[in-house]
């Protein structure tokens, strides 16, 4: 048994009709201000605490997504009713000042939500232990059991990924169990601390959306935030939607790097400062277009991935140097697509170009890129051995990236892996200049049609061949080609 003491709670076996918390627990006429702390853990998993109003509608809730340190001058915790700490295998710890700040704020009436998941929970436990809670490094036994509590009113089941198994909690003190596993171990608990409230959840899928396109766990999330923010101590004060890292390092006129006090020692800071210009030059040579933007990089507290919003690029700061280099090139490549971003089918092409940049650096960078390409190649061929099944426009098919690598490599005449048995996708008329032609055509395109059909038209113009038959032969679902496509190809290839 991993719970020392808790109030015994009745398991709900039938649906409860009510779907919200009563007005006595939360004043519906005032917003609840929620601070989502991203300075210790940045997650790319779609979270219900992002901008989707179907989870926390803006009329009742205001959210700040903060990459700034909790103790920075940019944050006044007294303007918030709820603080969310989402921490799954992050390299960034909580320091004693942050722990003391959170503890005092909760005792004065704040609502703290801590979310972990069985691995890499040591940093989160630095906070949790102040409330007599410990996230354990093991997994829950499914199925989950929902207990009788105000937070669970109207909650019958949880929408979680079928691959997900949450962690477990140990509680030393009095706490109400919200969810337990089939062995009776706590997975989510709630407790009163001074004037405030604390909830610990050891399954992050309870508060994130593993299905991405569907709405799940909405009732639980709204109940949870209302229960935590019941005191409305913020008074509905105005809060920003986003806070950037508080430290700014101006590397050059073309590049600035923002990091928090927590990520100041990230290896990405020195790598980006040293290699940005070289990466940018390789991208300009490969694509044939210039990146004339002044760029800002955000150092994210995570171990893999990145994002681009054009002139602002976020990169996880705790990876191998080779992975950081490819991610830097990948996300910077998205900036070359401004102002006309490609549809989802071309996202793998960004990775293809990033791997070419790594090849230019040679050594371990090139070797790591080659290993990554081999992994994508194996996955694609295992699922689609003839190259005619996977639709590269289907964003839900993971292996489409490997298939798009094969298509682009075939067009350039240098795929680099065996293609026996695969559909003979034709090479471009001028393979050496194919990518440059494509990106120049795309930069000059004023139609702003971010559709697969438009991309195939541009690829056809760059290849000086009608690629519609090739894409359709390898399983790509496309609308009809425009009547003047042949003339447009001829015009581009004179």
For residue 448, is it left (φ>0), alpha (ψ between -120 and 50) or beta?
left
Say if residues 210 and 122 touch (Cβ distance below 8 Å): no
Token pair recorded at residue 60 = 């009742």
For residue 157, report the phi and psi dihedrals to the nearest 5 degrees. -155, 170
CA 206 to centroid of chain Cα atoms: 16
pLDDT at 16: 26
User: Largest Cα–Cα distance in the chain?
Assistant: 80
pLDDT at 28: 39
Please report which residue ranges of 308-426 form alpha helices under DSSP H. Answer: 321-335, 347-361, 363-383, 400-412
Each as own residue / partner, the long-range contacts of residues 19-25 (CB below 8 Å, 24 or more positions apart, any chain) are 19/153, 19/154, 19/219, 20/153, 20/154, 20/219, 20/222, 20/223, 20/226, 21/150, 21/151, 21/153, 21/223, 21/226, 21/227, 25/150, 25/226, 25/227, 25/230
485 or 166, greater pLDDT: 485
pLDDT at 160: 75
pLDDT digits (tens, 9 = 90+) for 237-256: 899 999 999 999 999 999 99
47 or 238, greater pLDDT: 238
The rounded distance, in Å, linking the Cα atoms of 379 and 385 is 10
Question: Is the confidence at residue 209, as pLDDT, over 70?
Answer: no
pLDDT at 346: 84
The rounded distance, in Å, linking the Cα atoms of 413 and 432 is 8
Instruction: Please compute the mean of the pLDDT values over residues 91-117 and round it to a whole number.
Output: 95
Range of lowest pLDDT (15-29, 190-204, 352-366, 368-382): 15-29
pLDDT digits (tens, 9 = 90+) for 364-408: 999 999 999 999 999 999 999 999 999 999 988 989 999 999 999
pLDDT at 314: 92
Q: What is the pTM of this model?
A: 0.84
Instruction: Please compute the mean of the pLDDT values over residues 280-300 and round it to a whole number.
Output: 91
Token pair recorded at residue 339 = 């102002």
175 or 58, greater pLDDT: 175
Q: Which of 34, 15, 167 is nearest to 88 (CA)?
A: 167
Question: 2 falls in which pLDDT band (50, 70, 90)?
Answer: very low
Question: 341 falls in which pLDDT band (50, 70, 90)?
Answer: low
The rounded distance, in Å, linking the Cα atoms of 12 and 150 is 12
* DSSP 8-state class, residue 244: -
The rounded distance, in Å, linking the Cα atoms of 173 and 3 is 9
Token pair recorded at residue 400 = 């489409």
Listed by start position, the domains of the chain span 32-243
Question: 23 falls in which pLDDT band (50, 70, 90)?
Answer: very low
pLDDT at 411: 96
Find tokens 């630095």 and name the residue. Answer: 126
pLDDT at 45: 65
Question: 18 falls in which pLDDT band (50, 70, 90)?
Answer: very low
Question: Is the confidence at residue 234, as pLDDT, over 80?
Answer: yes
Q: Which of 465, 448, 447 is nearest to 456 (CA)?
A: 465
pLDDT at 275: 95
For residue 345, report the phi and psi dihedrals to the nearest 5 degrees. -60, -25
DSSP sequence for 422-468: S--PPPPSSGGGHHHHHHHHHHH--S---SHHHHHHHHHHHHTS--H
Looking at the DSSP bridge assignments, the partners of residue 176 are: 7, 190
Token pair recorded at residue 336 = 């070359």
Question: Is the confidence at residue 38, as pLDDT, over 60?
Answer: yes
Q: Which of 124, 132, 120 is nearest to 190 (CA)?
A: 132
pLDDT at 21: 40
State the Rg of the chain over Cα: 25
Assigned CATH class of 32-243: alpha beta
Say if residues 392 and 467 touch (Cβ distance below 8 Å): no
CA 113 to centroid of chain Cα atoms: 20
Range of lowest pLDDT (158-172, 310-324, 462-476): 158-172
Mean pLDDT of the chain: 87
């Amino acid at each position: 048994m991993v719970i020392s003491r808790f109030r015994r709670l009745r398991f709900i076996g039938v649906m409860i009709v009510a779907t919200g918390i009563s007005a006595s627990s939360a004043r519906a006429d005032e917003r609840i201000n929620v601070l989502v702390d991203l300075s210790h853990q940045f997650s790319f998993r779609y979270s219900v605490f992002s901008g989707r109003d179907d989870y926390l509608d803006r009329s009742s809730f205001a959210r700040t997504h903060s990459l700034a340190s909790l103790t920075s001058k940019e944050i006044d915790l007294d303007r918030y009713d709820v603080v969310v700490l989402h921490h799954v295998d992050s390299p960034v710890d909580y320091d004693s000042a942050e722990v003391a700040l959170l503890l005092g704020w909760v005792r004065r009436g704040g609502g703290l939500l801590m979310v972990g998941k069985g691995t890499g929970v040591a940093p989160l436990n630095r906070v949790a232990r102040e409330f007599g809670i410990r996230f354990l490094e093991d997994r829950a036994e499914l199925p989950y059991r929902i207990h009788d509590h105000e937070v669970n009113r109207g909650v019958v089941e949880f929408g979680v990924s079928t691959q997900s198994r949450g962690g477990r909690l140990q509680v030393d003190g009095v706490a109400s169990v919200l969810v337990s596993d089939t062995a009776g171990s706590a997975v989510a608990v709630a407790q009163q601390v001074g004037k405030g409230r604390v909830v610990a959840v050891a399954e992050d899928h309870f508060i994130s959306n593993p299905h991405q396109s569907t709405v799940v766990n909405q009732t639980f999330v709204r109940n949870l935030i209302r229960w935590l923010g019941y005191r409305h101590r913020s008074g509905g004060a105005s809060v920003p939607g986003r806070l950037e890292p508080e430290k700014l390092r101006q590397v050059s006129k073309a590049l600035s790097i923002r990091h928090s006090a927590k990520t100041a020692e990230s290896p990405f800071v020195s790598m980006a400062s040293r290699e940005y210009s070289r990466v940018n030059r390789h991208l300009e040579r490969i694509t044939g277009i210039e990146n004339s933007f002044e760029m800002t990089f955000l150092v994210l507290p995570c171990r893999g991935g990145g994002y681009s919003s054009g002139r602002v690029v976020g990169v996880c700061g705790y990876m191998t140097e080779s992975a950081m280099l490819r991610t830097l090139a990948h996300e910077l490549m998205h900036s070359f697509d401004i102002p006309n971003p490609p549809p989802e089918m071309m996202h793998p092409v960004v990775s293809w170009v990033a791997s070419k940049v790594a090849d230019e650096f040679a050594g371990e960078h090139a070797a790591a890129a080659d290993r990554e390409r081999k992994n994508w190649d194996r996955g694609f061929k295992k699922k689609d051995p003839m190259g005619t099944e996977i639709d590269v426009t289907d964003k839900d098919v993971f292996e489409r990236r490997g298939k798009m690598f094969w298509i682009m490599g075939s067009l350039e005449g240098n795929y680099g892996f065996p293609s026996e048995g695969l559909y003979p996708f034709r090479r471009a008329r001028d393979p050496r200049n194919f990518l440059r032609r494509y990106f120049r055509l795309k930069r000059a395109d004023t139609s702003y049609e971010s559709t697969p059909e438009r991309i195939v038209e541009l690829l056809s113009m760059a290849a000086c061949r009608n690629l519609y038959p090739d894409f359709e032969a390898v399983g790509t679902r496309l609308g009809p080609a425009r009547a003047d496509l042949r003339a447009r190809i001829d015009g581009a290839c004179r």
